């Protein structure tokens, strides 16, 4: 375990869950432009935007041995230019500082959504699959650019162990993202006649995978999977939801309207996630890092309640 780990985006729900796991084992420094509510005393927190030069202070204070970069914005309601600038400029600055301050390990939290749900997807996407998500939903291109930027960084700086983790849908009691918002709907809408397989990972397992990636010697791009694949209908049944199936040709215009009226946080393109397959092969991370989730499929699903 590295002696000092810097975590970006630590004030988010997932960041706080990670901090909880990590701060008992090592010295944790946090960076986030939001305040860290309920911060444990031994965590040093810097409230600063990742794009600002002042971020370097966090690196000057202590000798940072490893960085977990999860300060990545996924909010479809933000203007695209803001998310794009935050994600790319922020990542650029952090990776740049890692080189200058001789950090030994960088773990970047990307997402399995960079592959995108598509009708012609193979059942299990490996890490080499082209990142095609933007082809159907262009507003995710910042996440793809970020992933590719981290990859090119990995090749340009062999002295640094870079790990890029592409997690499947992270869900859990504290996480608020598109999948958990959807699963928390009392009456979720489904696409009539479609029931794709889903992969879910519990937030604590997601954090455990990030910590596991700190292991010396590990570098590369890895899909991170949870306890298996399950049909969307089985997830909703497990949660006791009564879903309303809507034909896809009506659903998309409907979601567009309500999204534009700011009644829901799902852009119409996200309908693809409950219509087509975006399932990844997580065997490489399991093999090379010894990854195994602790939560069962049923526990993971129920964690959103």
Partner 1 sequence: MANGPLPPCYTSAMASQLLDAVRDGLREWTYALGGPGTRSRLEKLTPPRNEFGVDPYGFDAEYLVSAVAPLIWLYKKYFRVQVHGIERVPAEGRVLLVSNHSGQLPFDGAMIEVGCLFDRDPPRAVRALMDTWVPTLPFVSTFMARCGQVVGTPENCRRLLAADEALLVFPEGTRGLNKLFKHRYQLQRFGEGFMRLALETGAPVVPVGVVGAEEQAPALLDLKQVARLLSFPALPITPTLLPIPLPTRYHIHFGEPMAFQGAPDEDDEQLERKVAEVEGAVRALIARGLAERRHVFW
Residues lying near partner 1 in the complex (CB under 8 A) are found at 119-124, 126, 191-195, 197, 228-231, 234, 237-242, 247-248, 276-277, 279, 296-299, 302
Q: Which residue from 43, 75, 289 is spatially nearest to 181, judged by alpha carbons?
A: 75
- Closer residue to partner 1 (CB): 96 or 299: 299
CB of 242 to partner 1, least distance (A): 4
- Closer residue to partner 1 (CB): 48 or 239: 239
CB of 197 to partner 1, least distance (A): 5
Q: Own/partner pairs for 119-122, CB < 8 Å, 24+ apart?
A: 119/276, 119/277, 121/276, 121/277, 121/278, 121/279
The three-class DSSP label of residue 157 is coil
Q: How far is CA 23 from the centre of its chain?
A: 21
- Closer residue to partner 1 (CB): 128 or 159: 128
Cβ-based neighbour number of residue 222 at 10 Å: 27
Tokens found for residue 253: 């215009």
Q: Which residues pair with 199 in a beta bridge?
A: 229
- Closer residue to partner 1 (CB): 158 or 240: 240
CB of 100 to partner 1, least distance (A): 40
Phi then psi dihedrals of residue 203, to 5 deg: -55, -35
Q: Which residues pair with 220 in a beta bridge?
A: 163
- Closer residue to partner 1 (CB): 4 or 300: 300
CB of 71 to partner 1, least distance (A): 33
CB of 136 to partner 1, least distance (A): 12
Phi then psi dihedrals of residue 258, to 5 deg: -70, -30
- Closer residue to partner 1 (CB): 113 or 121: 121
CB of 2 to partner 1, least distance (A): 35
Q: Which residue from 131, 118, 17, 26 is spatially nearest to 70, judged by alpha carbons?
A: 17
Tokens found for residue 198: 């889903």
Kindly calculate the radius of gyration of the chain based on its CA atoms and give it in whole angstroms.
19
């Amino acid at each position: 375990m590295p002696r000092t780990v810097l975590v970006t985006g630590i004030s988010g729900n997932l960041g706080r869950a990670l901090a909880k796991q990590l701060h008992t084992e090592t010295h944790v420094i946090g960076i986030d432009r939001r305040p860290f509510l309920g911060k444990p005393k031994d965590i040093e927190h810097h409230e600063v935007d990742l794009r600002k030069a002042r971020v370097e202070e966090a690196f000057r204070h202590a000798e940072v041995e490893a960085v977990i970069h999860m300060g990545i914005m996924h909010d479809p309601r933000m203007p695209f230019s803001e998310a794009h600038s935050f994600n790319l400029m922020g990542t650029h600055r952090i990776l740049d500082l890692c080189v200058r301050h001789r950090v030994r390990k960088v773990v970047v939290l990307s997402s399995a959504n960079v592959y995108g749900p598509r009708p012609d997807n193979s059942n299990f996407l490996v890490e080499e699959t082209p990142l095609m998500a933007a082809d159907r939903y262009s507003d995710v291109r910042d996440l793809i650019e970020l992933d590719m930027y981290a990859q090119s960084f990995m090749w340009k700086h062999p002295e640094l162990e870079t790990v890029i983790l592409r997690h499947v849908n992270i869900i859990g009691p504290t996480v608020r993202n598109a999948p958990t918002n959807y699963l928390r709907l009392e009456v979720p809408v489904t696409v009539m006649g479609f029931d794709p397989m889903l992969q879910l990972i519990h937030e604590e397992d997601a954090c455990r995978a990030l910590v596991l990636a700190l292991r010396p010697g590990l570098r590369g791009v890895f899909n991170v999977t949870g306890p298996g694949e399950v049909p969307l209908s089985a997830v909703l049944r497990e949660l006791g939801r009564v879903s309303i199936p809507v034909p896809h040709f009506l659903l998309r215009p409907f979601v567009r309207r309500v999204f534009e009226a700011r009644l829901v946080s799902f852009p119409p393109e996200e309908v693809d996630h409950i219509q087509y397959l975006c399932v990844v092969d997580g065997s490489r991370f399991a093999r090379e890092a010894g990854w195994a989730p602790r939560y069962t499929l049923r526990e993971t699903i129920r964690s959103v309640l």
